[in-house]
A = this chain, B = another copy of it.
Amino acid sequence: MAPQYAPSLRSRLPLVAFLLETIFLLLFVIFVKIEQHEQFGRESDSKLFISSYAEFQDVHVMIFTGFGFLATFLVRYGFSGSGFNMLLAAMAIQWAVLINGFLLPQQHHRREIHINMKSVVEAELCAASALVAMGAVHGKANPVQLLLMALVEVTGFVVTQWILRALFNADPVYSIMLLHVFGALFGVMVSWVLHREGIKPEHEKEKTDRKTGLFAMFGTLFLWMFWPSFNSALVRDYRWDGGLKLTVIYGTYLSLAVSVVMAMSVSMLTSSKGKMNMVHVQSSALSGGVAIGVAMTAVHAPWIAMTIGFCAALLSALGYRYMKNHMLFAFECHDTCGVLSVHAIPGILGWFAHLFLRLASNESTIAVQFAVYHICVLLITACMSLVMGTATGLFLKWSIWRPQQDRKCFDDQAFWEFPNLVVQK
Contact = CB atoms under 8 A, between A and B. Distances in A.
Given A10-B274, A285-B86, A28 B243 contact: no
Given A83-B281, A86-B260, A265-B14, A64 B225 contact: yes
B415 A65 contact: no
B58 A10 contact: no
Given A79-B210, A87-B264, A423 B258 contact: no
A310 B21 contact: yes
Contacts of A274: 8-11
A271 to B, nearest CB: 6
Contacts of A387: none
Copies of this chain, complex-wide, total: 3
Contacts of A218: 65, 69, 218
Contacts of A229: 57
A243 B34 contact: yes
Interface string A289-330: 000000000001111001100100000000000000000000
Contacts of A143: 264
A119 to B, nearest CB: 10
Nearest to A272: B10
B213 A78 contact: yes
Interface residues of A, number: 123
Contacts of A222: 65
A163 interface: no
Contact of A276 (B49, B246, B417): B417
A214 B36 contact: no
A190 to B, nearest CB: 22
Nearest to A256: B90
A191 interface: no
Contact of A260 (B11, B57, B90, B225): B90
Interface string A37-68: 11000010111111101100110110011001
B258 A21 contact: yes
A32 B303 contact: yes
A221 B67 CA distance: 12
A202 B422 CA distance: 9
Contacts of A265: 13-14, 17-18, 21
A275 B413 CA distance: 9
Interface in A411-425: 412, 414-420, 422-423, 425
A72 interface: yes
A104 interface: no
Given A86-B285, A210-B418, 9 more contacts: A21-B265, A21-B310, A25-B306, A25-B310, A34-B250, A34-B300, A91-B261, A115-B250, A214-B215
Q: Give the 6 A-B residue pairs with the shortest CB-CB distance, closest first.
A: A10-B274, A8-B274, A36-B243, A14-B265, A14-B269, A207-B420
